[in-house]
Amino acid sequence: MKIIDAHLHFCPEEAGFSQLAEAAGHENTEKHLQQIYDELGIVCGIVMGNRTVDPKDHQYPPFMRYCIGIDSFYLDGKQVSDSIDQIEENLRRPQCVGVKLYPGYFPMYISDPAYEPVYELARTYGKPVAVHTGETSTPNAYLKYSHPMTLDEVAADHPGIQFVMCHYGNPWLMDAAAVVSKNDNVAADISGMLVGRVNLDMLFEEKQGYLESLKTWMGYLREYDDIMFGTDWPLANLAEYIEFVSRLVPEKYQEKVFFDNANRIYRLDLE
C-alpha cells in the first residue's frame, strides 16, 4: 500500500530534532528519511513549516511538499500581517500545499481578525489551512487556544476554505469529532499520538480505554473520508506508527486514511 505522511517536521540542522529522531530509532537526515520512507512505502511527506516564512528557508527534496508555518518562534516580536507577502510567495509554489497555524504554542485564537489575510490567501490559492489542535508538546503554551472547538467558528465563517485539524484535537477526541463531522470543510490528521519507541502490544493493553476512544471517535465520522495518516516525524518511529494506525483503522478504510484522503485534501495529484 502506498502511503502519504501528511504531517512531519523537517529540520535536519536542529539538535533538538536530532535527539527526538534518535529517541525514535531514526536519524535526523534527509538520506535516512528517504531510505526509511522507501522501505515503508511512504511516497510523499508533507512538512509542517517552522521558524521562518522566508521562501528561501523552505527548500525540500522532491518527495516532500510543505505547509508554510506561522509559528510562535516566527511571531515572537512580529505580527501576522508582517508575513503576508512572503506567505503568498510560498503559496505560489506548487510544492507549497497549505498554511500551518500553531495556536496554543502562540497565544491567539485562530478566529482573531489578524489571521483574516492568511485565510484570504488560502482561499485565493485553493490551499488548506492546517491548524495545531489538542495538547502541546511543551508546557509554556495555553491549551484554551488549541481546543478543537476553536476551529468550528472559523470553518463555519470560511466555507470556501479547507481546514485540517492536526492531531485530531487529541485528547479532546469527542469534541474534535463533532467539529469534523459538522463542517464539510474540516478534515483531521492523526499525527503526534506516539513519541519515541513503543511496544504496541503493551500500549494497546495499558491504554486500552484511550485507544478505544480514539477508534470510536474516528469511526464516528462517515466512512473515514476526513482522517489522514501522519507521523509527526521526528517524534515517532515510522514503522511503529504505521502499525499503530493499522490497528486502529478498519482494513477497508486504510487506503483512504493512508493515501487517498491526503492526496485529495492537499491536492497532491499523486498517482
List interacting residues with Zn ion (CB under 5 A). Answer: 232
Q: Are 142 and 113 in contact (CB under 8 A)?
A: no
> What is the closest distance, in whole angstroms, from the C-beta atom of residue 159 to Zn ion in the complex?
26
- Give whichever of 75 and 253 is closer to Zn ion, judged by the CB atom: 75
> What is the closest distance, in whole angstroms, from the C-beta atom of residue 63 to Zn ion in the complex?
18
- Give whichever of 175 and 230 is closer to Zn ion, judged by the CB atom: 230
Q: In Å, how far from its chain's centre is CA 237?
A: 16
- Give whichever of 175 and 232 is closer to Zn ion, judged by the CB atom: 232
Q: In Å, how far from its chain's centre is CA 3?
A: 15
- Quote the strand ranges of 59-185, DSSP E: 64-70, 96-101, 129-132, 163-166
- Give whichever of 139 and 209 is closer to Zn ion, judged by the CB atom: 139
Of the candidates 43, 71, 39, the residue with the CA atom closest to the CA atom of residue 58: 71
- Give whichever of 72 and 88 is closer to Zn ion, judged by the CB atom: 72
Q: Are 52 and 74 in contact (CB under 8 A)?
A: yes
Q: Are 143 and 135 in contact (CB under 8 A)?
A: yes
- Give whichever of 152 and 232 is closer to Zn ion, judged by the CB atom: 232
Stretch (H or E) spanning 31: helix 30-40
> What is the closest distance, in whole angstroms, from the C-beta atom of residue 137 to Zn ion in the complex?
8
Residue number, nearest CB to Zn ion = 232
C-alpha cell at 68: 508554510
CA gap 231, 179 in Å, rounded:
22
> What is the closest distance, in whole angstroms, from the C-beta atom of residue 71 to Zn ion in the complex?
10
Of the candidates 70, 78, 76, 74, the residue with the CA atom closest to the CA atom of residue 121: 70
Q: Are 150 and 165 in contact (CB under 8 A)?
A: no
> What is the closest distance, in whole angstroms, from the C-beta atom of residue 64 to Zn ion in the complex?
14
- Give whichever of 88 and 232 is closer to Zn ion, judged by the CB atom: 232
Residue 245 is given by DSSP the state H
CA gap 42, 190 in Å, rounded:
16
> What is the closest distance, in whole angstroms, from the C-beta atom of residue 232 to Zn ion in the complex?
5
C-alpha cell at 17: 530534532
CA gap 142, 103 in Å, rounded:
8
> What is the closest distance, in whole angstroms, from the C-beta atom of residue 234 to Zn ion in the complex?
10
